[in-house]
């Protein structure tokens, strides 16, 4: 048995946290889009990442295959 009393919900705590965003901008990186939080460009060199794997999701006709082919050519 664990005696736990909770006075604040997760949503209430989240409202009290200051908003911060971290940008991904690496030298020699390729363009991956624009951050919705900060509005800055996302430039990343996947060869320098610890885990360079990725996956692409989207609706049919949204440009998934074009995006992957562009990344392969770059």
> From start to end of 1-74, where are the E strands?
30-34, 41-44
**Domain residue spans of the chain:** 22-73
User: Who contacts 31 (Cβ-Cβ below 8 Å, separation ≥6)?
Assistant: 41, 42, 43
Structure-block tokens of residue 10: 């997760």
Q: What is the mean pLDDT of the chain?
A: 82
Backbone phi, then psi, for 30, in 5-degree steps?
A: -95, 160
The residue assigned the tokens 């951050």 is 35
Provide the whole-model pTM.
0.50
Over range 64-73, report the average pLDDT: 88
pLDDT at 67 over 90: no
């Amino acid at each position: 048995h664990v005696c736990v009393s909770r006075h604040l919900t997760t949503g209430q705590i989240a409202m009290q946290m200051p908003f911060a965003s971290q940008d991904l901008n690496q030298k020699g990186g390729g363009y991956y889009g624009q951050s919705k939080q900060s509005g800055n460009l996302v430039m990343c060199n996947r060869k320098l990442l610890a885990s360079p794997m990725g996956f692409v999701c989207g609706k049919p006709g949204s440009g998934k295959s074009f995006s992957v082919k562009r990344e392969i050519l770059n």
